[in-house]
Structure formats: C-alpha cells, structure tokens
Amino acid sequence: MATVQFGKETSARGEFVRQKNRFTDRITADGSSGWKAEPGRYRLVVCLACPWAHRALIVRGLLGLDDAISLAVVDPVRDERGWRFTLDEGDRDPVLGIEYLSEAYHRADPEFDGRFTVPAIVEVESGRVVTNDYPRITLDLSTQWREFHAPGAPDLYPEHLRAEIDEVIEPIFRNVNNGVYRCGFAGSQEAYEEAYDALFAELDRLSARLEHQRYLVGDQLTEADIRLFTTLVRFDAVYHGHFKCNRNKLTEMPVLWAYARDLFQTPGFGETVDFDHIKRHYYYTHDAINPTRIVPKGPVTDWTEPHGRG
C-alpha cells in the first residue's frame, strides 16, 4: 500500500515512487503516431531547475531545433496549482496564452488529477499537452526530428551504439537520476540507506568507466552523457545536502568532477545551467524537507577550471 510523504508517493516500505508519465504520445517524422514533426507546431515547456526538463533543453539546443520547437520557461517556484508562467509579461505564456501549465494538461485530459510535470510538449494550436514522457522526448528529438536538425548537429543516439546506450542509461536512471530522489524523499531509514548505497555504488562504477574514456559510450557525446550531466550539475548545490546524498560531494570525486566540467564547458551545456533557479526550486518548494525555505548561498564552485579530459 502506498502513502504520501513530503507530497510524494511512497511504498509501504517508505520507498519513493515516481509518478508515471500520463501523456506518452510520440511525435514522429511520418506522423503515423497522430502527431507529425513540423516546425512551429509545438512548444517545449521546461523549468530550468528540473533535471528531466534540462535534458530536453540541452538536446533541443545541440540539435539546432531552436527555431523548429519554441521554448517556454516556467517559474522555478510552484504554487498549489503547479508550474506558473510568472517569468512572462502579464504572468502568461505569450504563445499559449495560459497562466499555468496545468491548463494545457486539462485541455488534453479534463479529468487529470496527478502532478503537472515538466518537460511537456504542447501543441500550439490546440493548447493541449502531447507528451510529458521525458525519457522518450529526447530520443525522439534525435531520431524523429532529423529533417530539421542543424547542419553538423551531433548524432546523440547513433544506431550502432543504441544497445550500449540503453544498457548504460538504465542503471543511471534507477540509481542516480531517480536515486537522488529516492534518497531525498525516502519515508524510512531503511529505504533511504538502500537508495544511498545504490547511488554511490553506481557513481563509483561510472567513475571507473570514465577514468580511461572521455564519454560514457564510444568516443562521442551521446544521450547517456546528457542524462548523467543533469544530475551531476545539481549534485553539490542541492542533492548533497538537501537530499542527504552526502558520502562525497561531486568536487570530491576527481574523475566525475573533471567529466562534469568537461561537459559544462562544451557549447550547449553550461549556458543552460541556472543555479539560482535550481536552488530556489529545491529549497523553497520542498518545504517538508526545508520548512524554513532558506536558500543557501553556496556552494562556491568554479565550473570553468581546466578539466584535462581533452
């Protein structure tokens, strides 16, 4: 039997249970899914604090899809109605004309009563959410939107490496991407310690893997690196303290710290990172974990120092 802890669902053992993605339609090159990849038809909604949305933001930029898929950025602090467009004039998204992302969810499903999550891709004309399936969104941007990629755009999900990429990203999701949340929202000591041990065991494995190669799969940047980066870049700022992932800071893990700086300094990565949004979202929104809502000033970290991985 599941219960609600910190506003999140947990299992009977106190394990954090991530909400399933409600909207899983795919946008495809040929439109056979019912949704055809067409420039100007869709709008990507992200929060700069959210690691899942951050993936989509990075991939969209690396592939040169900025003109094909417009971008909306929500306020990092949600209220009881969810993600807000308070960063825009008049507190409304200028393209969709809505104040809350929840409006696009309810246009797709008036009965939807789950959490309104980012990233979400919204069809501009109908104003309805097409997908909030974050693992699939980035893969489809790489494979279904090829016609609109910029010349020279990287192949982030190359066919000959897909089996290995899939194999690598599964434990990264389970133990790292979702693992930090399993630590932070654990409802029991046992569940927390299991998640903590799995997290750092996986980070140790990844460190060993990256000690003698620049990227996670092959000799090129892939989807796997993007998925790991968005957790690593938040690690010291929020996960280490706020989520009790405190065996080591990222800056105390030499291989992963150099790897993360390498990616941060790669065009398309560092400029998408907003530590103000990241810290305000986590420390202010999770008031059951941080009831004072005090946002820490630190850490002071130099992401531009040489990484030595060229």
Tell which residue, 235, 244, 253, 248, has the closest CA to residue 290: 244
Query: Are residues 168 and 139 part of one domain?
Result: no
Are 45 and 116 in a shared domain? yes
Q: Indicate whether 274 and 190 sit together in one domain.
A: yes
- Choosing from 42, 100, 157, 181, the catalytic residue is 181
pLDDT at 5: 45
pLDDT in tens, 80-89: 999 999 999 9
- The verdict on residue 303 lying in a domain is no
- Predicted local confidence at residue 8, as pLDDT: 64
Distance CA 17, CA 121 (A): 23
- How many structural domains compose the chain? 2
Q: Is residue 127 within 8 Å of residue 104, measured between CB atoms?
A: yes
Query: Is 248 within 8 Å of 257 (Cβ atoms)?
Result: no
Q: How far is CA 137 from the centre of its chain?
A: 11
267 within domain boundaries: yes
Please state whether the predicted TM-score (pTM) of the whole model is above 0.75. yes
Whether 191 and 6 have beta carbons less than 8 Å apart is answered as no
In a domain, 235, yes or no: yes
Catalytic option among 42, 47, 50, 105:
50
- Same domain for 281 and 163? yes
Same domain (yes/no): 143, 82: yes
Is residue 294 one of the residues assigned to a domain? no
Q: pLDDT for 203-259, tens place per residue?
A: 999 999 999 999 999 899 999 999 999 999 999 999 999 999 999 999 999 999 999
Q: Which two tokens stand for residue 209?
A: 């893997």
- Cα(118)–Cα(36) distance, integer angstroms: 21
Q: Which domain covers residue 219, as residue numbers?
A: 159-285
173/175 Cα distance (integer angstroms): 6
CB neighbour class for 17 (10 Å; exposed up to 12, middle 13-18, buried from 19): middle
- 144 with 180, same domain: the answer is no
16-33 tens-digit pLDDT:
998 889 899 999 999 999
**Domain-located, residue 165:** yes
Q: Do both 53 and 133 map to the same domain?
A: yes
Residue 183 catalytic? no
Using the 3D structure, point to which of 121, 148, 175 is the last residue of a domain.
Answer: 148
Report the CATH number that the domain containing residue 86 is assigned in CATH. Answer: 3.40.30.10
Distance CA 2, CA 96 (A): 36
Q: End-to-end CA distance of the chain, in Å?
A: 50
- Is-contact 142 49, C-beta < 8 A? no
| Co-location of 127 and 168 in the same domain | no
Backbone angles phi, psi at 90, to 5 degrees: 75, 10
Between CA 131 and CA 95 the distance in angstroms is 18
Residue finishing a domain among 98, 115, 148: 148
Q: What is the pLDDT of residue 31?
A: 98
For residues 176 and 181, what is the distance between their CA atoms, to the nearest angstrom? 9
CATH of the domain at 253: 1.20.1050.10
* Packed helices 223-234 and 254-264: angle between N→C axes, nearest 10 degrees: 110
pLDDT, tens digit only, all 310 positions of the chain: 445 444 567 888 899 998 889 899 999 999 999 999 999 999 999 999 999 999 999 999 999 999 999 999 999 999 999 999 999 999 999 999 999 999 999 999 999 999 999 999 999 999 999 999 999 999 999 999 999 999 999 999 999 999 999 999 999 999 999 999 999 999 999 999 999 999 999 999 999 999 999 999 989 999 999 999 999 999 999 999 999 999 999 999 999 999 999 999 999 999 999 999 999 999 999 999 999 999 999 999 999 999 999 8
- The whole-number pLDDT of residue 4 equals 44
Q: List 131's β-bridge partners, or say none.
A: 24, 121
Does some domain include residue 201? yes
